[in-house]
Structure 1
Amino acid sequence: MHDERHPDLATIGKLIDEFVTRVFTDVTDEDTLVLAEFMRELPTPLPDAPTAEQLTAWLELAELVSDQDFERVLRRTVRIWATDNRIEFGLNVRPLILEHAGRALAAGIEPQSEEGRAVLDRIVPSDLPVPELISLIEWLDAVTEPGIERYWRLLSLINSQGPGRPTTPAFRWLSTALRAHRRNIPPAVSSGTSVAP
C-alpha cells in the first residue's frame, strides 16, 4: 500500500533521524541529548502487514517531521529543556500534574476557582521562588505545543501501544491555575505573552 503524496515508508526513518539531528544541533546538555537518542530509537519498523492505523500514523509522522514550523517549535523547546535541568525537573513534576490536575479536570474543577487553588498547592509549593515559577510556566508553555504531543501519540500508535492518555489538558490546567493564583508572577509571564529563548 503506497500513497504517492507521501515518501516511501523506507525513507521515513531517515527523515526522522535528519529531523532529530537538526532539532538538537548545538545542544550540549547530556540529559537533553539522551532525549534525542530516545526520539531516534522509538519508531519501530512497520510489520509486514501493518494495520491501517499504523500506516496512517507513519505517514502523518513523516509529514510532521517535514513541517518547518514544528521543527522551529521543537528547537525552541529543547533549548528551554536544556537549561536549568528542566528535563529532570519535568520528569519529576509530570506525575504530580497528571495525578492532581488530571483529577481536577475530570471533576470539572476550574483552575481559576478556590478549589483550583487548593489543587495547585498540592502540585506546586506556594512559596516556590519567582525564578523557578517562571521556569515552570515556560516549561508548561513549551510542552503544551500541540505538535509535540502529536509526535509522541503517533509514535505510540506505530509501536502498537495505542494513543495513550492526552497530557496536554492537565498541563494547560496547571498553567492557567498558576497564572490565576500566583500574584508574584511578572505581568508578561502571567498574561501568557512571555517569549521563550
Structure 2
Amino acid sequence: MAVTTLYSIGELSRRTGLSVRTIRFYSDSGVVAPTTRSSAGYRLYDLDALLRLELLCTLRELGMNLATIQRVLDRELSVAEVAAAHADAMDVQIRVLQRRQSVLRAVATRGSDPEEIKLMHRLTQLSAEERRRLIDDFVEGTFGTVDADPAVAMVRAATPDLPDDPSSEQVAAWVELAELVGDEDFRARMRRTARRQAAGRRLDIENDAGEELMEFTRRKVAAAIESGIDPLSDRAAPIIDDLVHRFAEQFAHTPDTEFREWMTQQFEEAHDPRVDQYWRLVWIVNGWKVVPNLIPVYPWLTQALRSDRDA
C-alpha cells in the first residue's frame, strides 16, 4: 500500500519560499486546497498540492493574474495558451518601455525643455499607421499639384519608419522630421526641387561636363559617403583633387583656386540645406547607413571643395 507524503503549511513554506500567510491565502482561495487535516485540525497537503503551488509561483513571477492561474491549474486553459497570450502582451509592454527609454535618453542628450519632451512623447506614441499618414499628408500636400512622379516616387520609397525600439538619435531625428514636414516653407523648397527634377532641368555644369564625368563624380562621392568619409577631413582631399583635375581638363581650365570656387558655386545651385536635412533625418530614422540612388552628392561635394580651398 502506497504511503502518501503530507506536508504542513510550514513545510510548504520552506520548500517554496512563500510565507505561511501567503500559502494560507491561496488555500482559502481554493487555488491550492489542503488534502486533509491533522487530528489537531491543521491543514496538510500532498505532493500534487506542492507541485500546484510551485507552478503557481512560476506563473505569478511571469506576471499572470490569480484568476488565470486558477484556470490553468484546473486545466481549463493550457500553460501553452496562457504563455503565448502573455508573451504577446509582454511584447507590447517591452516596445512601450523601449520607446520611453529612447525618449528619456534623447532628453538627457539634448537637454530638452518641457515642451519638447511633450512633443517627443506624443510623436513617438503615434502608431505606425499614424506616422505613415503624417508623411503621406506631407507628400500629397507638397507634390499634389506637381507633375513630378520620379520625385514623388523617390520620397515615398524612403518613407521614414520609426522602429519599435528606436535609439535616442532616431527619436530626436523623428521629432525634427515631424516638425520639418509640417513647415510650409520647407514644403515650398521641396516643391521647387521637384519642379526642377520634373522638368528635367540639369545644372549648366552637368550639361557641359557630360554624363560620363558626372556619373563618375556621383560614384566617387557616393562611395566616400558610404565609407563614412567626412567632407571636411583629410581623407576627402585626394578625392576632391582628383575630381577638380578631371573637371579642369574637361573645361580646359587650370585646376586652381579660382576654378574650385567656380565649381563650388555651380554645384551649390542644386544644394538646399533643408532638403538635404530631410534626407539625412530619413536615413537616421530608418537606420540606414546609405540609401542607394538617394545619396545627395552635391552637399558633400561642395563642403569638400570649400574645405579643400580654405585649407
Whether 1:35 aligns to 2:151 is: yes
Matches within 5 A, 1:90-169: 92=215, 93-96=217-220, 106-107=233-234, 119-123=243-247, 125-126=250-251, 140-142=268-270, 144-162=271-289, 167=297, 168-169=299-300
Residue 244 of structure 2 aligns to which amino acid in structure 1?
A: L
Please, which runs of 5 or more residues in structure 1 have no aligned partner?
110-114, 128-135, 178-197
Residues 20 and 36 of structure 1 are in contact (CA less than 8 Å); yes or no, is this contact kept in structure 2? Answer: yes
Residue 94 of structure 1 aligns to which amino acid in structure 2?
A: R
**CA shift for structure 1 position 119:** 4.2
Residues 80 and 139 of structure 1 are in contact (CA less than 8 Å); yes or no, is this contact kept in structure 2? Answer: no
Give the match for residue 130 of structure 1. Answer: none
Residues 43 and 158 of structure 1 are in contact (CA less than 8 Å); yes or no, is this contact kept in structure 2? Answer: no
Please, which runs of 5 or more residues in structure 2 have no aligned partner?
1-99, 104-116, 253-263
**CA shift for structure 1 position 62:** 0.5
SS of residue paired to 2:118? coil
Q: 1:105 to 1:82 in 2, by over 3 A?
A: same
SS of residue paired to 2:269? helix
Give the match for residue 126 of structure 2. Answer: 9
User: Counterparts of 1:126 and 1:155 in 2: how far apart (Å)?
Assistant: 36
Residue 276 of structure 2 aligns to which amino acid in structure 1?
A: E
Quick check: 3-12 or 162-171, which moved more?
162-171
Q: 1:50 to 1:169 in 2, by over 3 A?
A: closer
User: Counterparts of 1:51 and 1:173 in 2: how far apart (Å)?
Assistant: 29
Q: CA RMSD in A?
A: 4.2
Residue deviations 1:129-164 (CA, integer Å, cap 9, x gap): xxxxxxx9676423x211112111111111112589
**CA shift for structure 1 position 82:** 1.8
Matches within 5 A, 1:175-190: none
Give the match for residue 195 of structure 1. Answer: none
Q: TM-score, normalization: structure 1?
A: 0.58
Q: TM-score, normalization: structure 2?
A: 0.40
**CA shift for structure 1 position 4:** 3.3
Residues 174 and 281 of structure 2 are in contact (CA less than 8 Å); yes or no, is this contact kept in structure 1? Answer: yes
User: Counterparts of 1:46 and 1:153 in 2: how far apart (Å)?
Assistant: 14
Whether 1:72 aligns to 2:194 is: no
Aligned-residue identity in percent: 29
Give the match for residue 20 of structure 1. Answer: 139
Q: 1:84 to 1:44 in 2, by over 3 A?
A: closer
* Number of aligned residues: 159
Structure number with greater CO (CA < 8 Å, separation at least 6) is 1
When Rg is computed on C-alpha atoms for both structures, the one with the higher figure is 2
Residue 33 of structure 1 aligns to which amino acid in structure 2?
A: D
Residue 146 of structure 2 aligns to which amino acid in structure 1?
A: V
**CA shift for structure 1 position 67:** 1.2
**CA shift for structure 1 position 59:** 1.3
Residues 105 and 170 of structure 1 are in contact (CA less than 8 Å); yes or no, is this contact kept in structure 2? Answer: no
**CA shift for structure 1 position 50:** 1.9
Residue 72 of structure 1 aligns to which amino acid in structure 2?
A: A
